[in-house]
Amino acid sequence: MNAWAPQCSRFSKPTINTKRKELTMTTAIIFHEVQDGAVWAKAWKKGPGSRHEMFGKLGIKCRNFRDPNNPNATGVMAEIPDMAKFQELLQSDEGKKAMREDGLKVEKMRVLVEFTP
């Protein structure tokens, strides 16, 4: 079982604002450690085959972060229009391959989802 599955299942589903007929995105901040920050960063360089392209095909926009004192401590802020499709991608062969190639330490991943108290 993919370690993302329990984390992602707790995400809220996008909602429709009936007055303006617009989709509300789920905003997530995902923290993880990687084996090599340079390898992880290279995978996110914009262009063909990048992680931006992989997530972009689902309409997901990502911003990348890393600790300036520890380049192996990384994170992504993602605007996700469809959580079910996001989960499917992460659990797919393509998603698992990307996590392996990027050196993610999946067991150390933490996910925060925006909410309104």
pLDDT at 25: 87
The verdict on pTM exceeding 0.85 is: no
Per-residue pLDDT of 79-89, as tens digits, reads 999 988 998 99
Q: Which domain holds residue 92?
A: 23-113
Question: Which pair of tokens denotes residue 62?
Answer: 């990502």
Q: Give domain status of residue 3, yes or no.
A: no
**Residue in the structure block whose two tokens are 């340079």:** 38
51 φψ region: left (φ > 0), alpha (ψ -120 to 50), beta (else): alpha
Domain count, the chain: 1
Q: Give domain status of residue 29, yes or no.
A: yes
Q: Give domain status of residue 38, yes or no.
A: yes
The amino acid at residue 103 is G
pLDDT at 47: 87
Per-residue pLDDT of 22-47, as tens digits, reads 567 899 999 999 999 999 999 999 88
The answer to whether the beta carbons of residues 72 and 37 sit under 8 Å apart is yes
Q: Give domain status of residue 35, yes or no.
A: yes
CATH code for the domain in which residue 98 is found: 3.30.70.100
DSSP E strands, the chain: 16-17, 22-23, 26-33, 61-67, 70-80, 110-113
